[in-house]
Chains A and B, each alone.
Chain A
């Protein structure tokens, strides 16, 4: 596989469920990101890992928990979500999160619906 992959592509869960989103990059990058994309809103940066260290956590509720076991894999653990958390969750990677020219490569996203 090439590029950035995400699984699952679609997820429907109840508010009491626990699930995890998975992202894998095959580009040899050192930075990985989780974004939330809601209709007609800007991309919201949730978490950033640079060289496996979490560098950003933009006031994300604790019901979202990231995990980055190595520079190629990123997880987003979900529990007790709310209906307003329904959105497209995008994973991205780049060479280095602390550089100006920092082209990010995105995965296809997970469409999450919380009932």
Chain B
């Protein structure tokens, strides 16, 4: 079967750094996405990785290792507005997105 695993919940302090991990097992791989979803709102796109390595975009970075079936999202200089759920999704051999259950990130002052 196909599955995506990520922690259910994480807590971090304002101004700090947090890393959210995602491991996957899918039939085929056409890229990995990270989305952010604030409570009661739509998911919004954060990043896309298809090759191994680190992609940096401002305070957010995303890393991929295809051989390990592993990715992480790194958030730096955390702000209160970063409190949200972070969803990992993999595009499989049919370009269908397989989603993780999301990681709820709680930021404390």
Which residue numbers of A lie inside 8 Å of B, CB to CB?
4, 40-43, 45, 48, 56, 90, 97-109
Contact = CB atoms under 8 A, between A and B. Distances in A.
A101 B48 contact: yes
A42 B99 contact: yes
For chain B, give the interface size range: 20 to 34
26 contacts: A40-B8, A40-B101, A41-B101, A42-B4, A42-B99, A42-B100, A42-B101, A43-B87, A43-B97, A43-B99, A48-B96, A56-B94, A56-B96, A90-B42, A90-B43, A97-B95, A98-B95, A99-B95, A100-B30, A100-B31, A100-B95, A101-B31, A102-B31, A102-B97, A103-B48, A104-B45
Contacts of B43: 43, 90, 106
Contacts of B31: 100-102
Contacts of A4: 42
Contacts of B41: 108
A82 to B, nearest CB: 22
A56 B41 CA distance: 25
Contacts of B87: 43
Contacts of A102: 31, 91, 95, 97
B78 to A, nearest CB: 23
A90 B99 CA distance: 14
B50 interface: yes
B33 interface: yes
Nearest to B45: A103
A103 to B, nearest CB: 5
Nearest to B48: A101
B44 interface: yes
Interface in B1-30: 4, 8, 30
